[in-house]
Amino acid sequence: MQSPGPLSSKLFAAAREVIPGGVNSPVRAFRNVGGEPFFVRKAHGSRIEDVDGKTYIDYIGSWGPNILGHAPVVITNTIHEVAKSGVSFGIPNPFEVEMARTITEWVPSVGKVRMCNSGTEATMSAIRLARGFTKRDLIVKFDGCYHGHSDSLLVAAGSGALTHGEPDSAGVPKAFAAHTLVLPYNDPAALEALFAARGEEIAAIIVESYPANAGLVFPKPGYLELLSSITRKHGALLIFDEVMTGFRLGKAGVQGIENLTPDLSCFGKVIGGGLPVGAFGGRADVMDMLAPLGPVYQAGTLSGNPLAMAAGLAQLKELAKPSGFPRLEELGAHFEQGLRALLSGKGVPHRIHRAGSMFCLFFTDREIVNVDDVMKQDLAFFRKFFWGCLDKGVYLAPSPYETGFISLAHTEADLDDTLTVFEEVLAGI
C-alpha cells in the first residue's frame, strides 16, 4: 500500500474536515484497498493526471460515462457552444426532445421516456411508477445488484455498500425494507418459489440486466427470459436497470443483445456525455401514468437540461458510426485475449468476465454466478495487485466489486502497455 503524492495527501486532509470521509461518493475513499485516494487535476483521452503530476492509463472513465475517453473534442465543443446560450432553463428545450426520440428509436422496448438527473433518480422513479401502475407494493431485487441509494432499493446492495461490508444502510426504516424482497441472482428455483407464494402482491422485478456493481456477473442461459415470463404471468412489471450497460454494449444495451422486452428501463451515464443525467422509459401505457397525465408524481428542476442532453447526443452520434460499437468490441476482445494468456501463463487463479468494453477480473478459480462467488475471491491478492498497478501508472477501480471500462480513446498500445504492467506487478506479488 502506497500513499498518494504530497498534494493529494494535503487535499484529502482538507477534504476530511469539510466532506464526510473526504469524498462525495464512498467507493472513492479507497476503503477496500487501504490507503488514501489521489486527486485528479486533468484528463484527456485514455489518461488522467493527478495533482502531483503523475499520469495513469484510466479504466474507470468516470465510472462508465466517458465512453469516448476524457475530454473528447466533440463533447467539449458541444458543451462550450450550448453553454453560450444558457446552461439551464427549467423550460422545455429542443435537445431533450431529440434525446427522447433517439432513445425510443434505439431501444425498441421504450415507447416513451422521461429524463432525470441520475441513475438513482431513474430507478427510484421507475419503482414508484411500477407500484402506481400495478397498484401493488412489493418489489423484487437481487442480492448484489445495486440500483442507487433510494430507500426502497438500498437493501442487500452491491457496489459501495459492499465495499464497506454493509449491504444494508442505516437510516432505511424497516417498514420500507419490508416492501423489497431480495433473492439470490441466477437462482430460478428461488424466484419461482417466491412468485408462487406472493406473485399477486408483487409490483415489479428490478434487475441489473448484467449485474455490474458486484464485479461483472452474467445471467445463466434462460434466466432473463424467466424473469420476463414470470412477471407477465403474474401481472408484475419487469424493470431493466441499464444505467451502466445502456448505450455502452450497443444501441439497445443488454435487452438488444438478449432480444428481450422489459416493461421499463433505466438509463444514465453514457447518455449525458459525462454530465449528470438519468432517464427511465418503457411501455407508453405505463409511462402515461406519470404526472401531468397520470397520478404518479415525478419531477426535477434540472431534468433534460440542455448541456447534458446536447453532450449526450453528441456522444451517441459518435457511437452510431461504424467506428463506434464495433471498435469497442475489438478493443475489449484484444484486451481479454492478452489478459487470459498472461494469467494462464502465470498460473494465477482467475476468472475474466467481459461484455464489449466492460470487463472484470476476479482472482479466483471458482465459477462466478452471484455475489457470494464474488465475495470469495482473493481480496488480499487484489489489494496488492491494485497498488502495484497504480504505482506503475494504471488506474483500476479501487474495489474488487467494480467493473472496468475501455473507451474509444484507448488504443491497442494502451492495452498492451497495461498488460506489461500487469505482468510486472504479478511477478512481484
Torsion of CA 364, 365, 367, 373, to 10 degrees: -30
- Model-wide pTM > 0.75: yes
* Residue 168: predicted pLDDT: 64
Name all domains of the chain by residue range, CATH numbers in brackets: 6-71+322-428 (3.90.1150.10), 74-319 (3.40.640.10)
pLDDT at 237 > cutoff 80? yes
Lowest pLDDT segment from 39-53, 75-89, 162-176, 406-420: 162-176
Q: Assess whether 384 carries a catalytic annotation.
A: no
**Cα 403 to Cα 63: distance, rounded to the nearest angstrom:** 8
Q: Facing residues of 239 across strands?
A: 206, 264
Output the CA–CA distances (angstroms, integers) from residue 312 to 75, 96, 98, in the order listed. 8, 10, 10
- In this predicted structure, the answer to whether residue 85 has a pLDDT above a threshold of 70 is yes
- The one catalytic residue in 59, 210, 269, 414 is 269
Local confidence band at 1 (pLDDT 50, 70, 90 cut-offs): low
Tell me, what amino acid is at 305?
N
Q: Is-contact 27 146, C-beta < 8 A?
A: no
> Length of the chain in residues, anyone?
429
Q: Which of 50, 58, 241, 263 is catalytic?
A: 241
Between the ranges 29-38, 316-325, 371-380, where is the mean pLDDT highest?
Answer: 316-325
Quote the pLDDT of residue 75: 98
The mean pLDDT of 262-279, rounded to a whole number, is: 98
Using one digit for the tens of pLDDT, what is the confidence trace for 105-117?
999 999 999 999 9
Mean pLDDT of 38-64: 98
Q: Would residue 372 show up in a list of annotated catalytic residues for this protein?
A: no
> Does residue 146 carry a catalytic annotation?
yes
Strand, helix or coil at 330?
Answer: helix
Among 145-154, 200-209, 350-359, 416-425, the minimum mean pLDDT is found in: 145-154
- Given the residues 56, 59, 146, 395, select the one marked as catalytic: 146
Q: How do residues 171-229 score in pLDDT, each as one tens digit?
A: 888 887 889 999 999 999 999 999 999 999 999 999 999 999 989 999 999 999 999 99
pLDDT for 160 equals 46
